Amino acid sequence: MENWQDKLKAAGFKATSKRQEILSFLQGENRYLSPLEVYQYLQKNHPGLSYDTVYRNLREFEEAHLLEVTDFAGEKRYRINCGGHQHHHHFICTQCGRTIPLKMCPMDVFQEQLPGCVISGHRFEIYGLCENCLKQNEKH
């Protein structure tokens, strides 16, 4: 996400400072964030900003493929789309939220088992504790 304005304009959005701030915050975190976390972050500089505005922007950015979305503990979470339109999956730390891209797709194995069928979509994420959180838990 080097050039915010061009990417926003290409997706059909005005490049406002608040939109840039949302994307910059998500990029800096390298993890999936809830709309509430994004809202709370923006409230520091924009106390009058509504939660609905933040949520609407997140949904629009998702539709424009600027953000990835996942469901975590029954809640939508968003992160910068690190792969563009490239197909990929993640390991997500359940303690700190750190996200690590996976290099392969396990669906290839399933496609081999479904001759004559076409898989139209899937979702695959692995949850657990990252190396840093494991070390922290061992200390306690």
The residue type at 113: Q
Strand intervals (E) in the chain: 67-72, 75-80, 89-93, 99-102, 125-128
The pLDDT score that the predictor gives to residue 1 is 46
Q: What is the third-level CATH fold of 89-139?
A: Dna Ligase; domain 1 (3.30.1490)
The pLDDT score that the predictor gives to residue 84 is 54
On whether the pTM is more than 0.85, the answer is: no
The pLDDT score that the predictor gives to residue 21 is 92
Characterize 12-42 residue by residue with b for buried, 16 or more Cβ atoms within 10 angstroms of its Cβ, and e for exposed: ebeeeeebebbbeebeebebbbbbebbbebb
The pLDDT score that the predictor gives to residue 12 is 83
One pLDDT digit (tens) per residue for the chain, 140 residues: 456 677 778 888 888 889 989 999 998 987 899 999 999 999 999 999 999 999 999 999 988 888 888 888 788 999 887 665 556 788 888 888 888 888 888 777 888 888 898 888 777 788 899 999 999 989 87
Q: Do domains 4-80 and 89-139 have the same CATH topology?
A: no
| Domain segments of the chain as ranges | 4-80, 89-139
Q: What is the third-level CATH fold of 4-80?
A: Arc Repressor Mutant, subunit A (1.10.10)
CA–CA gap between residue 58 and residue 78 (Å, rounded): 7
